Structure 1
Amino acid sequence: MPLTLRELLSFEVLREARPEVLAGEGSLDRVVRWVHSSEIYEIGPLLTGGELLLTTGLGLAGTDAGARRHYLREIAARGVAGIALELGRTFPETPRELVEEARRQELPFIVLRSVVPFIRITEDANTLIVDYASRRLRLGDSATRALNEALIAGAGIAGVLATGAQVIGAPLVLVSAGGALVSAYGVDGDREAWRAVEHSACEAPVTLHGRPWGRLVAGPGSALPAEDLSIALERTAVALALAMLRTGSPPSERDRQVSALLRDLIEGGAEAGSSVRAMMAGFHPAPDHVLVGVAADALETAAALAVIDRAAHILHTPALRGRLSRLVLGALSVPRAVTDAVGAASQALDEALRRVSAPELRVAVGYPAADLGELGGSLRDARAALGLRPSARLVSTRALALDLELTRHGDGGHAADLVRRTISSLVDWDAAHRTNLVGTLEVFLLHGCSATRAAAVLHLGRQSFYQRLQRIEALLGYTVTDPDVHAALLLATAAHRIAGT
C-alpha cells in the first residue's frame, strides 16, 4: 500500500521525535510520495506535491508573522502531504500564526518535540516508498508479461479476459460504449456479469483507433490494493484492445444479428420472422433438413466457431453460430434422410474437435428440431447439458435426457424426498464409509444391469463389483434387478448425483 502520513507517524524513528499534530488532523491519510528536509524560505516553488517537509524553521528566523503565513500558504499550494517543525533550535515554542494558517489550509502541521536527525527519518521513510514503487513496477511487469504471453499464444478476447482475471483475482466484464455486454470471465451467465458491473471494484477504458470503444470492469473480490488493481486492469484493457484489433473485433453487424437471433431463440421470443432473420444472417438450411442445436463453452470464441464451421463442412450443410455471453451457440443442418441426425451431428463435431486445437473447448449437442421455431428448445437443452457434464468434451442431450428432465421439472425438495425414500440407506453408508455405492448402482442400472459392463466402466474386478452389489442389496433389502424398482432407483440415483454437482 502507498505510505500515508498517518502510517509514517507510527514509525519508530518518528515516535522518538515525539510528534504532535496541531492542524490538519482530518488529512492524515494523504499519501506521502517523498520525505524531504529543507531550511530554505523559498522552498515552495521547488516542491512538486506529496512531500512531507521536515524543517527546524531556520529559514523563518527573523521573519514576521505575515511572512511565516505566506511561507505556509506557498507550501500548501504545492499539494504537500504535510510539514513537520522540529522545536528547540529556531523556535522553542510553536509560532501561533503557523498553526492558524495550517488550519485554514487544512494542511497537516506537526511539531517534533525531540531531536532526531532528519537523515534517519528520510532514510527509513524513503526506503519504504522506493520499495513500494518497485513492487508496483514488478506487478505491472508481471501482468504485462502474462498478457503478452496470452496474446503471443493467439488468445482472443476471452483468453485475455481469463488471463487478466487470474492476475487480478476477480471477475472481469467487458462492456461496449453503448452499454452492451460483450464478454465476461469468472461469472456464471449475464445476470452475474451485470451484478459484477453493479458492484465493480474498478474499471478502465478500452480504446480502439484512438476512440473510446467500451470499458473493462473488475468485479468485487480482488485482494489487490486499489492502485495495484487499477494498474493491472489498465494493462488488461490495453491487451484486450490489441486482441480485438487482431481478431477483427468489435463484432460485425452480421455477428450482432446472429447473436440477437440466437438470444431470442433461446429465450423463446423469435418464432415470428425468425426464418427471415436467419436468411439475413446468412443461414439458409434446405427445407428437407432438420436443425440440431449446439452449445460450446470455450475461452476462445474463434476456436468454438471453427469447430462448428468444420462440423458443418463435414456434413456439407450450412451452420448458424454466434457468441452469446460466455457460450457459443449454434445450429447444424442435417438432411431428414439421415436416420440419426443427433448421431451425425455428434460424429461431425467429434471429428472437428480432433482437428481444432482447443483443449479447453466443450461441446453439447441438442435434439433435432424441425424448424427454427423448435430450435430454441434444442439450444436450451444443449446449454443445460454443458453444466451437467462439466468434464466431458462432447456430450449429447440424448444421453442426458433423465438428468435434463430432473433439472427442468424437478422440485429440489421433491427430489430430496425421492432420494430419502428410495436410497437413503446407501447415501448414509457412503457418507459414513467414504464409498460410492450410489454411483455404483447408477452405473449398473444405466448399463442394463450388466455386471460385466458396469465393472469395466468402474474399473473394478468382477468379484469386487459383486461384493459392492451384495452390499447395496443388503442395505436396500431387495434385489435391484427387479423390473418393478428399476425406474425408481434410476431416478433416485440420478437425482442424488445432480444434487451433488
Structure 2
Amino acid sequence: MNIELEEVLSHEAFRRAGPVIRAGAAFVPGRQVRWVHSSEVMDIAPLLSGGELLLTGGVELAAASAKQRRQYIRDLAARSIAALGIESGGPLKTIPADLIQTAEAYELPLIELRKVAPFVQIAQSINSLLVTRSVDLLRQADVLSQNLAAELANGGGLKELLQLLARQIPADVTVLDGAGTVIEQAMAPAAAETRSEGDLPPLEFDISQRGTVTASLRLCPKRDGDSSWAQVVGDRAASILALALHGRHAPDLVDVAGKELVRSILGGVQGQRLRQLCRTAGMDPDDQFVVVLGRPLGAGCRWAGVERLVRKHQTKAIVYVQQQEMVAVAALPAKRSRARRATLLSELKAGVVDQPQVLVVGPVSAGIADAARSLAETRLTFDLAPAGTGPGSVIDADAFVIERLASQASGDEAIHHVVDELLGGLIAHDDARRSRLLETLDEWLASGCNTAETARVMHLERQSLYNRLEKIFELIGGDPRGTDRLAGLHLAARLGRYLRSS
C-alpha cells in the first residue's frame, strides 16, 4: 500500500514543518510513498528498498563536503526513494545549491523543512495512515478473493474470472502465456477501447503452477481506479487464476519433465536420470546451457517479464521459482552459444531496469551434466556482487571470474604473495591514509586506461583522478601503459579488492 507524495505534503503533520519543494517539483505528481523514515546517516542508501520518504535534520550534511553531498543524492536516487526532506535553520542553515542541483539532475524531489520538524510525529502519522489503508485494502481483497473462488466453484472459467476482476478494480485485464501471447482478456466497463493517456501504468503478476511461472496477469487500471487496490487484487487473484488455467491448460509431460529437471539440478542429481529428464523436456543433454538466477529486492517482484526475455531467443528454456529465488535453465546453440549468451545478457539489462530484483547470468555449461557447476558459480557471483547492488541490476558472472577463482583458493598463500609483490606499497598507503587508490587503479585498468570513463564511474573531477594516478604510478613503479605489466597489475588489483572485501 502506497500513498501519493502530494497527499503527504498536504497532511497536517507534514505542513507544520513548513515544507517547500526545492528540486524535482515536476516529479512530485503521481510519486508514491511506501514508508516514512528518518536518518542522519550519510551512507543510508544500501539499507533502503525504494519508495521511502527520507527525513534528515542535516547534521551530517552540514559537515560534509560538496562532493559527499552530491554522492549522497546520487545514492538515494539510485535506490528510487520517493523524496528527501531536509530540515533547515539548524546545523544546516540553508539548503546548499549543490544539493538542489544534483537532486534536480537526478529527478529526486527535495523538500526543505523550514520549521523544526517533529520527525517522530510525521512518521507516526503517515505510517499509521499507510497501515490503516493497507488493512482496509486487504479486507476488501479477501471479499473479492471469496467472490472469485465462488465463481470458479460454480463453473466459471477464465473469461468469467477476468470479467469479474475488470469490473471490481476497474481495469483492463489480460492473461498471457510465457511467450507473451494473449490467452484471455476482459476490458474495464465502458472502456473497451485501448488505454488512454490518462490511465495508470500497467501492473504484472506471475501465475505459477507447481513452482513454474506458466503465465502472467496484466492489469491496466483506469484513471478512476486505485493502483494500490489493483496491486493487492493482482497478488490475490494470481493463485485463483492458476487453478482456472490448470483446467484449461494442464501441464503436459514436457512441462513436468522440465520442472523436474531444474529440481534435479538444484539437488545435484547426475547421471542417466538427468540426461533422460533433459531429453523428455525437449532438450539435447549435450547442448550448451546457461543458468540465470534471480532474487527479489523488496515487494512487487515479478518473474514473468524475465521469463519472456529468457525464452525470446533460446532454443528451449525452463523457468522455475522456489521460495525467494528464480532459476532459469536455457539451452544454447552449440555454434553460437557465446554470442547468444551475450544477447540474452544485453536484453535482460535493458528489460529489467528499476525492477525490484537482481539477476545473475551464469557461465556457459558444457552439457546438462555441467549445469550444476554453472548454478554453483552463478550463486557464488551473487555472494561476490558489490554491497548495495540496486534493483534492476543484471550481473555477468564472467565479469567475476577472478573473484570466483580467488574465493575458491583464498587460503592459497600464492595469491597473497602476488598482491603484496605488485601492490603492497599502494595497499599500505590506502590503509594508512584511508584513501581509495586500489579501487581507482582497478577501475582505471578495467576501463582500458580510459581516464574520462574512470572519472565518470567514480564520480571524480578529472584533476582529482590525475592526482590519484600520479600517486599510484609513484607507488607501483611508474606508468604501466605501453609495458607488459598491465595484465599482472590488473589481476593483482582485482584480487586485492576481493581479499580486502572478504
Could you say which TM-score interval applies, normalised by the shorter chain? Answer: 0.3 to 0.5
